Chain A
Amino acid sequence: MNPTPESGCGCAEDRTLSRRRFLTAAGLAGAAALPMVSTRAAWAASGSWSGPVLLVLSLRGGMDGLSTVVPVGDPDYARKRPGIGVPASVALPTGDRMFGLHPKLAPLLPLWQSGRMAAVHAVGTPDGSRSHFQATEELERAAPGTSVRTGWLDRVLAAAGTGTVYESVHLGAGTVPALLAGPAPALAMNGLAGFALEGGDWITPQMTRALRTLHAGTDLPTAAAGTMTLDALATAQSVVAGRGAPQNGAQYPSGDLGSVLADAATLVRSGLGLQALTIDVGDWDMHNGLGDTDTGWMATKLAELAAGLAAFAADLGPLFDRVTVLTISEFGRRVAENGSGGVDHGHGNAVLLLGGGLVGGRVHGTWPGLADAALDDGDLAGTTDYRNVLAEVLVKRMGLSTGQLGGVFPGLPVRLPGAFAAAAA
Chain B
Amino acid sequence: MPLDTVHLLRRTTYGITPELLADVAAVGGPGAWLEQQLAPQGVADPVADAVLARFPLAVADPPVCYGAMSNGAWDSMVQVVGATVARQLWSRRQLLEVMVDFWSNHLNITCPSSEVWATKAWDDVHVVRANALGSFADMLAASVTSPAMLLYLNNAESQGRAPNENYGRELLELHTVGIDAGYAQADVVAAARALSGLSVWNPWNGGTAATNGTFRYRADWHWVGPVQVLGWQHPNADRTAGVAVARSLVRYLAGHPATAARIARKLAVRFVSDDPPQSLVDALAAAYLAGGTAVVPVLRALFASPEFAASVGQKVRRPHEDWMATLRAVGVAPDPTSSSRAAVEGWMWAVEDLGNGPLGWGQPDGYPDVASAWSGAGTTLGRWNLHLAAVQQWWKDGVTYAGLADRLLGATKPTTRGALVDALCARLLPGQTLTSAHRAALVGFLGADGPVRNGDLTWMLGPLVAVVLDSPYWSVR
- Which residues of A are interface residues toward B (Cβ below 8 A)? 11-13, 15-16, 19-35, 37, 133, 137, 147, 149, 165, 174-176, 178, 183, 185-189, 195, 197-199, 203, 206-207, 209-211, 213-218, 220-226, 228-229, 231-233
Knowing A174-B382, A197-B384, A221-B476, say if A27 contacts B368 (CB, 8 Å).
Answer: yes
The residue of chain A having its C-beta at the shortest distance from the C-beta of B391 within the complex is A199
* Of B109-117, B243-251, B285-293, the one with at least 4 CB within 8 A of chain A: B109-117
Interface string of B370-412 (1 = CB under 8 A from A): 1111111111111011001100000000000000000000000
Complex formed: what's the CA distance from A365 to B313 in Å? 56
- Smallest CB separation, B458 vs chain A (Å): 13
Q: Which residues on A sit within 8 Å (CB–CB) of B179?
A: 147
Q: Are A218 and B438 in contact (CB under 8 A)?
A: yes
Which one, B314, B370, B373, B466, contacts A207 given CB within 8 A?
A: B466
Knowing A29-B370, A147-B173, say if A174 contacts B472 (CB, 8 Å).
Answer: no
Q: Are B463 and A207 in contact (CB under 8 A)?
A: yes
30 contacts between A and B (CB under 8 A): A12-B71, A13-B72, A16-B113, A23-B352, A23-B357, A23-B362, A24-B363, A26-B378, A28-B368, A34-B371, A137-B362, A147-B179, A149-B363, A174-B354, A175-B353, A183-B372, A183-B373, A188-B378, A197-B388, A198-B385, A207-B463, A210-B467, A211-B470, A215-B472, A218-B438, A221-B313, A222-B375, A222-B472, A225-B377, A228-B377
Q: Are B372 and A29 in contact (CB under 8 A)?
A: yes
Q: Which residues on B sit within 8 Å (CB–CB) of A188?
A: 376, 378
Complex formed: what's the CA distance from A154 to B466 in Å? 32
The residue of chain B having its C-beta at the shortest distance from the C-beta of A206 within the complex is B445
Interface string of B251-292 (1 = CB under 8 A from A): 000000000000000000000000000000000000000000
Knowing A210-B441, A214-B467, A220-B472, say if A16 contacts B356 (CB, 8 Å).
Answer: no
B437 near A: Cβ within 8 Å?
yes
The residue of chain A having its C-beta at the shortest distance from the C-beta of B74 within the complex is A15
How many Cβ-Cβ contacts under 8 Å join chain A to chain B?
Answer: 201
- Smallest CB separation, B27 vs chain A (Å): 31
Complex formed: what's the CA distance from A19 to B380 in Å? 21
Complex formed: what's the CA distance from A214 to B476 in Å? 14
Q: Which residues on B sit within 8 Å (CB–CB) of A24?
A: 361-363
Q: Are B445 and A20 in contact (CB under 8 A)?
A: no
Complex formed: what's the CA distance from A235 to B303 in Å? 44
Q: Which residues on B sit within 8 Å (CB–CB) of A32?
A: 368, 370, 372-373
Q: Are B381 and A13 in contact (CB under 8 A)?
A: no
Q: Which residues on B sit within 8 Å (CB–CB) of A11?
A: 72, 114
Q: Which residues on A sit within 8 Å (CB–CB) of B384?
A: 197, 211, 229
Complex formed: what's the CA distance from A209 to B442 in Å? 10
The residue of chain A having its C-beta at the shortest distance from the C-beta of B361 within the complex is A23
Complex formed: what's the CA distance from A133 to B362 in Å? 10
B365 near A: Cβ within 8 Å?
yes
Q: Are A225 and B445 in contact (CB under 8 A)?
A: no
Complex formed: what's the CA distance from A160 to B31 in Å? 50
The residue of chain A having its C-beta at the shortest distance from the C-beta of B363 within the complex is A149
Complex formed: what's the CA distance from A305 to B170 in Å? 40
Q: Are B352 and A27 in contact (CB under 8 A)?
A: no
Apart from A31-B370, A174-B378: 12 A-B pairs, beta carbons within 8 A: A11-B114, A12-B114, A13-B72, A16-B112, A26-B378, A29-B373, A30-B365, A34-B371, A137-B363, A211-B384, A214-B438, A221-B314
Q: Are B475 and A222 in contact (CB under 8 A)?
A: yes
Q: Are B372 and A22 in contact (CB under 8 A)?
A: no
The residue of chain A having its C-beta at the shortest distance from the C-beta of B353 within the complex is A174
B29 near A: Cβ within 8 Å?
no
The residue of chain A having its C-beta at the shortest distance from the C-beta of B179 within the complex is A147
- Smallest CB separation, B295 vs chain A (Å): 23
B56 near A: Cβ within 8 Å?
no
Top 10 closest A-B pairs, CB basis? A26-B355, A12-B72, A24-B362, A220-B472, A213-B441, A16-B114, A29-B373, A185-B376, A225-B375, A232-B377
- Smallest CB separation, A73 vs chain B (Å): 39
B360 near A: Cβ within 8 Å?
yes
The residue of chain A having its C-beta at the shortest distance from the C-beta of B444 within the complex is A210
Interface size on B, residues (CB 8 A): 64
Which one, A183, A211, A232, contacts B467 given CB within 8 A?
A: A211
B316 near A: Cβ within 8 Å?
yes
The residue of chain B having its C-beta at the shortest distance from the C-beta of A224 within the complex is B375
- Smallest CB separation, B155 vs chain A (Å): 15
- Smallest CB separation, B370 vs chain A (Å): 7
Complex formed: what's the CA distance from A122 to B384 in Å? 46
- Which residues of B are interface residues toward A (Cβ below 8 A)? 71-74, 110, 112-114, 117, 169, 173, 179, 313-316, 319, 352-357, 360-363, 365, 367-368, 370-382, 384-385, 388-389, 435, 437-438, 440-442, 444-445, 463, 466-467, 470-473, 475-476
Complex formed: what's the CA distance from A188 to B380 in Å? 11
Q: Which residues on B sit within 8 Å (CB–CB) of A35?
A: 372, 375
Complex formed: what's the CA distance from A180 to B382 in Å? 18
Knowing A26-B356, A185-B377, say if A197 contacts B437 (CB, 8 Å).
Answer: no
Which one, B73, B169, B379, B476, contacts A27 given CB within 8 A?
A: B379
Complex formed: what's the CA distance from A41 to B440 in Å? 26
Q: Which residues on A sit within 8 Å (CB–CB) of B473?
A: 214, 220
Max count, chain A CB within 10 A of own CB: residue among B113, B352, B440: B113
The residue of chain A having its C-beta at the shortest distance from the C-beta of B322 within the complex is A222
Max count, chain B CB within 10 A of own CB: residue among A13, A207, A210: A210
Q: Are A186 and B388 in contact (CB under 8 A)?
A: no
Complex formed: what's the CA distance from A218 to B71 in Å? 53
Q: Are B472 and A218 in contact (CB under 8 A)?
A: yes
Knowing A12-B71, A30-B365, A133-B114, say if A23 contacts B371 (CB, 8 Å).
Answer: no
Complex formed: what's the CA distance from A198 to B389 in Å? 8
- Smallest CB separation, A262 vs chain B (Å): 20
Q: Which residues on B sit within 8 Å (CB–CB) of A165?
A: 377
The residue of chain B having its C-beta at the shortest distance from the C-beta of A195 within the complex is B381
Complex formed: what's the CA distance from A232 to B438 in Å? 22
- Smallest CB separation, A400 vs chain B (Å): 23
Q: Are B373 and A220 in contact (CB under 8 A)?
A: no
Q: Which residues on B sit within 8 Å (CB–CB) of A203?
A: 463
Max count, chain B CB within 10 A of own CB: residue among A32, A186, A211: A211
- Smallest CB separation, B387 vs chain A (Å): 9
Complex formed: what's the CA distance from A149 to B442 in Å? 42
The residue of chain B having its C-beta at the shortest distance from the C-beta of A141 within the complex is B363
Knowing A16-B114, A147-B173, A225-B375, say if A199 contacts B354 (CB, 8 Å).
Answer: no
Q: Are B376 and A210 in contact (CB under 8 A)?
A: no
Which one, B74, B169, B470, contacts A214 given CB within 8 A?
A: B470
The residue of chain B having its C-beta at the shortest distance from the C-beta of A225 within the complex is B375
The residue of chain B having its C-beta at the shortest distance from the C-beta of A199 within the complex is B388
Q: Which residues on B sit within 8 Å (CB–CB) of A33?
A: 372
Q: Are A229 and B377 in contact (CB under 8 A)?
A: yes
Complex formed: what's the CA distance from A382 to B12 in Å? 52
Complex formed: what's the CA distance from A218 to B382 in Å? 22
Which one, B314, B362, B372, B445, contacts A34 given CB within 8 A?
A: B372
Complex formed: what's the CA distance from A20 to B72 in Å? 15
Which one, B71, B355, B370, contacts A23 given CB within 8 A?
A: B355
Complex formed: what's the CA distance from A55 to B444 in Å? 44
The residue of chain B having its C-beta at the shortest distance from the C-beta of A231 within the complex is B377
Which one, A27, A147, A189, contacts B355 given CB within 8 A?
A: A27
- Smallest CB separation, A12 vs chain B (Å): 3
Q: Which residues on A sit within 8 Å (CB–CB) of B377?
A: 165, 185, 187, 225, 228-229, 231-233
Q: Which residues on A sit within 8 Å (CB–CB) of B372?
A: 29, 32-35, 183
Q: Which residues on A sit within 8 Å (CB–CB) of B437?
A: 213, 216-217
Complex formed: what's the CA distance from A221 to B352 in Å? 24
Complex formed: what's the CA distance from A15 to B115 in Å? 12
Complex formed: what's the CA distance from A223 to B371 in Å? 11
Complex formed: what's the CA distance from A19 to B349 in Å? 10
